[in-house]
Amino acid sequence: MNIKLTGILGVAVAASLMVSNVTAKTIKVQASSKAGDWAHKFMTERYAPKLKAMTGGSLSITVLPTSAVVPYKESIDAVASGILDGDLNAISYFSGRDPAFAMIGDLIAGWDTPEQLQNYCMTGGGREMLQKIYDTLKVTAGKIHVIGCSPYSREALVSKTKITTVAGLKGVKIRSPEGLAAEVFRLVGAAPSALPFSEVYTSLEKGIVDAADASAYINNTNSGMHKVAKFPIYPGIHSMANLQFIMNKKKWNKLSKDNQTALEVWYIAAYTEMRRAADVEDKEQVAKDKAGGEITVVDWVQEERDKFRKIAVNAWENFAKKSPLAREALNSCLLYTSPSPRDS
């Protein structure tokens, strides 16, 4: 899918001009990013204002930082009940509800590029699969509308020690979301613990963890991670967090058709531009850090990356056995990435 942002935004703005005499509405969503980090500033400063412009002032969005209204793992309950209008959160955070969230949210070592995963979400069945998961869960059935899902970067692992091989992960205390990511790290001998992104820096600083499945390289830099963890692995070996954009279904249905379209287009454009910007800024920051000499950027050889992926594939299959939805979600991913998904 080759998204032309200028054209998309132009169509949306043109559509918005047809909207008249509509009471201005602001939707409030909670994100997984913390206030002040790169991803949060991108959404709040660079893209949130564009929705208002696209809709002629009839619709605007406020993007709140993680846990601003409810704890990050309870955001889907808050959206279902109407406490939050929407959620821009990491899907894998909800793996404890059903392992299917792990498959859609972060198929560890399963995607080649963020663009590939974004395309799966937008046109390859990913959004529909996520909607089915929500429609199946008792607490969210009929209460959540999935606007879309997308990553914006392959995450760079941050570490206080130099890790160059799969074997080097043995015994490492590592921050990892619960679910599939944690299972993969257990299989390689690491000791994962679930912490929100907002607590990663202090946990590294205090020695609670030695390394962290964190975020994009530039986001890690702006969050101060490399001040205490000076051996980042880049390009990342593991995680490509898929973030969702969901809304309370009743509130979604109350939006005009024009504003629904504008919100969908705004989201696709925002995450496409953020993905491209993160890639550029990641590479620029890596070059600066390599030149600076204080930070050692670790790049795993392909042989070690392949070893890690083989272990991850075993974890996929183990997780797929935990629920029918998880099996279906994994097959949905494999159908997009390979011609013949396994049906067992």
pLDDT of the residue at 283: 96
The torsion defined by the Cα of 232, 238, 43 and 72, in degrees rounded to 10, comes to -110
Beta strand residue intervals within 58-130, DSSP E: 59-64, 86-88
Q: Tokens 């209204």 correspond to what residue?
A: 69
What is the pLDDT of the chain when averaged over all its residues? 91
Share of the chain above pLDDT 90, in %: 83
Average of per-residue pLDDT across 263-291: 96
- Phi then psi for residue 209, to 5 deg, are -130, 155
Cα(309)–Cα(167) distance, integer angstroms:
13
Class of CATH domain 5-153+240-280: alpha beta
- 156-237+294-323 has the same fold as 5-153+240-280: yes
Q: State which fold the 156-237+294-323 domain adopts.
A: D-Maltodextrin-Binding Protein; domain 2 (3.40.190)
Average of per-residue pLDDT across 217-224: 92
pLDDT of the residue at 10: 52
pLDDT digits (tens, 9 = 90+) for 306-338: 999 999 999 999 999 999 999 999 999 999 987
pLDDT of the residue at 277: 95
pLDDT of the residue at 116: 95
pLDDT of the residue at 21: 39
Average of per-residue pLDDT across 284-299: 96
Burial track 329-344 (b if 16+ CB lie within 10 A, e otherwise):
bbbbbbebeeeeeeee
Q: Domain spans of the chain?
A: 5-153+240-280, 156-237+294-323
Can you give the pTM of this predicted structure? 0.86
pLDDT digits (tens, 9 = 90+) for 230-263: 999 999 998 899 999 999 999 999 999 999 999 9
Q: How many CB atoms lie within 10 A of CB 162?
A: 11
pLDDT of the residue at 20: 40
pLDDT of the residue at 239: 86
pLDDT of the residue at 7: 52
Cα(19)–Cα(249) distance, integer angstroms:
22
Residue 2 has pLDDT above 70, yes or no: no
pLDDT of the residue at 16: 44
